[in-house]
């Protein structure tokens, strides 16, 4: 994923690797199939192939979680239960006392806890 800036320096997310094959030439109706980068696709999109506002919000959430944790959306070099960032983080969201486990370890605990809570609340 990329975070780009527009002319007013507002951030724009792009390149989640999502694409949908559409009509070619004079064809107006064709079957489409879901394509995309595993780890960023909303489960509903993967199942139905329909992009919605919720699909974008989910992808944004994954990028934000990458920034907070310092982890990749999919990292096969991690332990078995930690390959998928969302799967790893989901149980940690259930207990606010575990939020600090999601902070990028490179920060070495040097961040305001309130800021971490606010970032994870998004």
Each of the 122 residues of the chain gets a pLDDT tens digit; together they read: 566 677 777 766 565 555 454 555 555 444 455 555 778 888 888 788 887 778 888 888 999 999 999 999 999 999 988 999 999 999 999 999 999 999 999 999 999 999 999 999 98
CATH number at residue 16: 1.10.510.10
**CA 111 to chain CA centroid, nearest Å:** 22
Q: Which residues, listed in sequence order, are joined to residue 2 by a DSSP beta bridge?
A: 14
Q: What is the pTM of this model?
A: 0.71
4 and 12 Cβ atoms separated by less than 8 Å: yes
Dmax (CA) of the chain: 58
The whole domain housing 114 covers: 2-121
């Amino acid at each position: 994923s990329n975070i780009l800036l527009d002319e007013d320096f507002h951030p724009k997310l792009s390149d989640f690797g999502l694409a949908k094959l559409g009509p070619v030439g004079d064809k107006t109706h064709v079957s489409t199939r879901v394509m995309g980068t595993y780890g960023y696709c909303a489960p509903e999109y993967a199942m139905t192939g329909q992009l919605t506002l919720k699909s974008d919000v989910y992808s944004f959430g994954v990028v934000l979680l990458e920034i907070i944790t310092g982890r990749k959306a999919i990292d096969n070099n991690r332990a078995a239960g930690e390959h998928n960032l969302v799967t790893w983080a989901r149980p940690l969201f259930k207990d606010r006392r575990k939020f600090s486990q999601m902070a990028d370890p490179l920060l070495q605990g040097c961040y305001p806890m309130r800021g971490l809570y606010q970032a994870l609340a998004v």
